[in-house]
Structure 1
């Protein structure tokens, strides 16, 4: 009888050990968690010189962890990482964030495995220098044209009776060898101008009003960040009532084209949509 009792005891002990191992095996199976949805990367600056900064929502991550994760807040606190590139970024580049969380600690103390091990982001939303006229939306173009007309009227005074915008010349810097010029681009808004002289006679001429360093922001809007309101160099002297009067501009559209296109070739590439038909 004692032998049978011992056999029962041994069988019970073996069963208990097996159950313990089975339970331990179940408890040891880690839960896979993905922290990427709680990671944000912000890109700022000018394309080509952009920077990246990251932020991790540890509270949101902890709240989203499943019941199988032990001490989710503690796991979130030990989650860290780094970007492979944070400076000199251009729109369209990619940056990779590599998680840095001790795998042994995550598994043994929190019953968790971080996966995937990295997250990739495409650089977007950085400011860019304007390089083409079609990058300027109609609303921004209307604002620039209005600002140019105002600058024209401030320069020439009450003599101006009308100014029609004919389009623009987009000059994009190509040659940076000269330290005398540090602008990246210039836009000349072109106008057909009507002026009245003191003797009652009228004058029609052409003028270009400049805007420097146009930037296209991440939201698509365009802003002149440099000097603006300067005039394309041209000079008109007219005689009225025995007196001479001077206007900054050109007698013909061809003369203005020569100044605003040919005058800048080499250091700048020039695009123009200036036509009389646009008026």
Structure 2
């Protein structure tokens, strides 16, 4: 009998040593501490999870120990933060999330998925985690009528592509709309072909008010709109119809001839004005303050200088900014706001032959280097001028 009692005592001591030296293992069932709740209205339900942390810690405060031999860092961290081993295990090894949590309807299935550090848990705490995905079939949402808030909203676009803005105008005479606001995922710097998503925003409290007061809630919360058929900035010379280009060429020539009539001592000395091509500049960053596009129409001028009397040739430009086109391709050019060579305080776009001054450039290279090269960092450019060295 004494021998049996002795063996029982030895077994008890060995068991205690086994448990407190990290050689034992505790199994923890995580699922029993997790609950999923879905609230709200059918099609607008929201799911949330609750892990009963308090009960877990109470249940395992004396059962979970840190394996100090293998995880001195974990033990030190627990001491530093004043956390029990059970709390450390939860914070460092147990993670979870719902596969979906919003816009839920009765009949939907919500799944909570665990993402736990099994090996770390076993190594640091001598704990085996027991868990499985938790599925919750939604059935508790209240049934209410639905309405489409976008039936009472006007979404309009204004501006010139690619600098179009969106305006959202709700009809607040519709009483339900007092509880809803709207936002767009992008509301400016739009171009033809862009699609935006407008979202109807409603708080939970306002949704409750709608349901109580009108017996309905929004059934749709997002709608897409496409920018289309708006005027756009021409970004290629080929986009300018031939009849419009003829008008631009003719206008540029008339601008130069008008200058000759007003400024030359002997306008009759003008021999020829020949259009030789253009430089077309497009801003690399379309969110501009100055011109987005510039079309430099270049003319070769032939004339006779009075004194000393000699033939001369030089180059003149007329620049048109921001040519636009409508959906049908019809172009609009602001002929009243064109730019021509001029002398300023810090710039000179003229030269002299004898005592006679001419606005323009003696060579095509000089025109290019003065008008185009300084803008190359800001603008992309193309040229239709043949035999140009640039």
TM norm structure 2: 0.43
Cα deviation, residue 211, structure 1 = 1.9
1:259 to 1:131, Cα distance in 2 relative to 1, 3 A: farther
1:153 to 1:230, Cα distance in 2 relative to 1, 3 A: same
Deviations 1:177-205 (A, max 9, x none): xxxxx655432212244557779x99674
Q: For this pair of structures, how many residues does the alignment match?
A: 220
The residue number in structure 2 matching 1:170 is 280
- The higher-RCO structure (CA 8 Å, 6+ apart) is 1
The residue number in structure 1 matching 2:197 is 96
2:180 to 74, 80, 85: 80
2:322 to 191, 194, 214: 214
The residue number in structure 1 matching 2:240 is 136
Secondary structure of the 2:260 match is: helix
1:103 to 1:174, Cα distance in 2 relative to 1, 3 A: closer
Listed as ranges, the gaps of 5+ residues in structure 1 are: 1-27, 60-72, 176-181, 239-243
Secondary structure of the 2:220 match is: coil
Q: For the residues of structure 2 that align with 1:271 and 1:90, how far apart are their CA atoms?
A: 24
Cα deviation, residue 167, structure 1 = 2.5
RMSD over aligned Cα atoms: 4.5
Secondary structure of the 1:261 match is: helix
Matching of residue 118 in structure 1 with residue 249 in structure 2? no
1:248 to 351, 359, 370: 359
**Any conservation in 1 of the 2:321–2:338 contact (CA below 8 Å)?**
no
Q: For the residues of structure 2 that align with 1:48 and 1:228, how far apart are their CA atoms?
A: 22
Secondary structure of the 2:189 match is: coil
The residue number in structure 2 matching 1:52 is 166
Secondary structure of the 1:274 match is: coil
1:270 to 1:78, Cα distance in 2 relative to 1, 3 A: closer
Q: For the residues of structure 2 that align with 1:29 and 1:87, how far apart are their CA atoms?
A: 35
1:94 to 1:121, Cα distance in 2 relative to 1, 3 A: same
Cα deviation, residue 120, structure 1 = 2.5
Cα deviation, residue 83, structure 1 = 1.5
Q: For the residues of structure 2 that align with 1:174 and 1:95, how far apart are their CA atoms?
A: 23
1:41 to 137, 155, 158: 155
Q: For the residues of structure 2 that align with 1:222 and 1:38, how far apart are their CA atoms?
A: 35
Q: For the residues of structure 1 that align with 2:227 and 2:244, how far apart are their CA atoms?
A: 25
Cα deviation, residue 81, structure 1 = 1.8
**Any conservation in 2 of the 1:190–1:206 contact (CA below 8 Å)?**
no
Cα deviation, residue 245, structure 1 = 4.9
1:167 to 1:50, Cα distance in 2 relative to 1, 3 A: same
Cα deviation, residue 86, structure 1 = 6.2
1:184 to 1:51, Cα distance in 2 relative to 1, 3 A: closer
1:46 to 1:226, Cα distance in 2 relative to 1, 3 A: farther
The residue number in structure 2 matching 1:156 is 260
1:153 to 1:225, Cα distance in 2 relative to 1, 3 A: closer
Q: For the residues of structure 2 that align with 1:133 and 1:249, how far apart are their CA atoms?
A: 23
Secondary structure of the 2:168 match is: strand
**Any conservation in 1 of the 2:234–2:323 contact (CA below 8 Å)?**
yes
Q: For the residues of structure 1 that align with 2:386 and 2:211, how far apart are their CA atoms?
A: 71
TM norm structure 1: 0.56
**Any conservation in 1 of the 2:152–2:171 contact (CA below 8 Å)?**
yes
Cα deviation, residue 218, structure 1 = 6.3
